[in-house]
Amino acid sequence: MNHIVMTVAVCAAVALGGATASAQTQNWKLQTSAQAGDFYYKTIERWLPVLTTMTGGKVKAELTPIGSVVPHNQTIDAVAQGILQGDLTSTVYFSGRDKAFALMGDLIAGYDNPWQLIQFCYYGGGREILQELFDKYTNKQVKVVGCATGGKEAFISKVPIRKVDDFKGKKIRSPEGLAADVFRRAGAAPVAMPPSETYTALDKGVVDAADDSTYSMTDSVGLFKVAKFPIYPGIHSMPILQFTVNMALWNKLSPAEQAAVDGWYRAAMADLVLSADIEDRRLVARDRADKSRGIEIIDWPQGERDKFREIAAGAWKDFAQGSDIARKAYEANIKFMKQMNLLPADFQ
């Protein structure tokens, strides 16, 4: 299991970092894609003292919420320029610069669980492709430390959607771009709107369903009051959350300190995935047991999940056209998904 590998890496990094850390402390401000106090933010915040310990006091970090220092889609520039020392944010925010950021940031309907996506990042070439992207758009001023995900999002709906064919004619809140194209190919009518408008849109019938967030996040903002037919486990979105650091600062760390930072991120994200999954499962069990809540949790059969992935794969291929790095990202994902038996070996 991937989290076992991560744990071993952490143990090694703790020993190395604690043994060789140099005296001068680096203070890192890391802008996130999260709001202060949400599950992701609080999880990473708990791990900040561990980063200091693992690097022997060389690195001290503080988190800032989305948009607090620079707009959400400008952290790439702020890290390169040293305005931020790093970011822990959503890769898909930079899709306007290159289609590869969209394919690397959220391969809609691609992977079945977070561990598969993390495996692609570390063992399928994902991290290397992200580094190539950042090199291109920052003149090699940003180090990609790692990439992972916080978990698979649950799909929420006012009406039962039990199979791919049930998407036909449904109005679905979706981000623009790749996600919207996937739902369109499945027969739905995507409607672009910010997440803050999702509740009202569902309540008033502007949309029938929504590509939104994890089960626990959906529960926390009350969306199950107006959308009683969630699909869990989800069938669509699992965004990558990257960790980047200013390259000049990274190069000032010793190899042992760099290994400690790398191990810290892997462990923190493993903790996020595991704890988020536990919370999602706790809430799902509650809603299955408490019939008074009126929630019907729908679990698509594997055949329907495979059918939706094949529809999505057509969108990925078309989306990758026009960018050499996007094609490389597409081909790396397809190769790895075949290796993981997520796509048939003869898939073209």
Q: Are residues 9 and 104 in the same domain?
A: yes
Q: Are residues 163 and 24 in the same domain?
A: no
β-bridge pairing 171-173 and 154-157 = unpaired
Rounded distance between C-alpha atoms, residue 317 and residue 311, angstroms: 11
Q: Are residues 310 and 329 in the same domain?
A: yes
Give me the tens of pLDDT residue by residue for the chain, a chain 348 residues long: 444 444 444 544 444 444 444 569 999 999 999 889 888 899 999 999 999 999 999 999 999 999 999 999 999 999 999 999 999 999 999 998 999 999 999 988 999 899 999 999 999 999 999 999 999 999 999 999 999 998 888 899 999 999 999 999 999 998 888 989 999 999 999 998 877 789 999 999 999 999 878 898 889 889 999 999 999 999 988 889 999 999 999 999 999 999 999 999 999 999 999 999 999 999 999 999 999 999 999 999 999 999 999 999 999 999 999 899 999 999 999 999 999 999 888 887
Rounded distance between C-alpha atoms, residue 297 and residue 294, angstroms: 10
Residue 347 domain-assigned (yes or no): no
| Structural domain containing residue 196 | 154-236+295-339
Q: Are residues 37 and 170 in the same domain?
A: no
Residue 345 domain-assigned (yes or no): no
Other beta carbons within 10 Å of 69: 16
Predicted structure pTM score: 0.87
Rounded distance between C-alpha atoms, residue 202 and residue 319, angstroms: 29
Q: Tell which of 279, 305, 331 closes a domain.
A: 279
Q: Which pLDDT score is estimated for 21?
A: 43
Residue 109 domain-assigned (yes or no): yes
Q: Are residues 19 and 161 in the same domain?
A: no
What strands, in cross-sheet order, belong to the sheet with 26-32?
A: 59-64, 26-32, 86-90, 240-246, 142-149
Residue 169 domain-assigned (yes or no): yes
What strands, in cross-sheet order, belong to the sheet with 209-213?
A: 154-157, 209-213, 171-173, 189-191
3-state secondary structure of 254: coil
Q: Are residues 212 and 95 in the same domain?
A: no
Rounded distance between C-alpha atoms, residue 47 and residue 62, angstroms: 10
> Quick one: 19 exposed, middle or buried, by C-beta within 10 A (0-12, 13-18, 19+)?
exposed
Rounded distance between C-alpha atoms, residue 240 and residue 146, angstroms: 10
* Dihedral sign (CA 120, 32, 47, 132): positive
Widest Cα–Cα separation across the chain = 62
Q: Which pLDDT score is estimated for 212?
A: 78
Q: Are residues 117 and 261 in the same domain?
A: yes
Distance (Å) of CA 257 to CA 62, 127, 154: 18, 19, 37
Strands (E) across the chain are located at 26-32, 59-64, 86-90, 142-149, 154-157, 171-173, 189-191, 209-213, 240-246
CATH number at residue 324: 3.40.190.170
Q: Are residues 172 and 318 in the same domain?
A: yes
Structure tokens at 151: 């978990």
Domain count, the chain: 2
Given a contact cutoff of 8 angstroms between Cβ atoms, the answer to whether 120 and 107 are in contact is: no
Q: Are residues 205 and 247 in the same domain?
A: no
3-state secondary structure of 148: strand
Q: Are residues 89 and 192 in the same domain?
A: no
* Dihedral sign (CA 305, 300, 178, 280): negative
Q: Which pLDDT score is estimated for 23?
A: 63
Q: Are residues 201 and 136 in the same domain?
A: no
Residue 333 domain-assigned (yes or no): yes
Q: Are residues 107 and 52 in the same domain?
A: yes
Residue 286 domain-assigned (yes or no): no
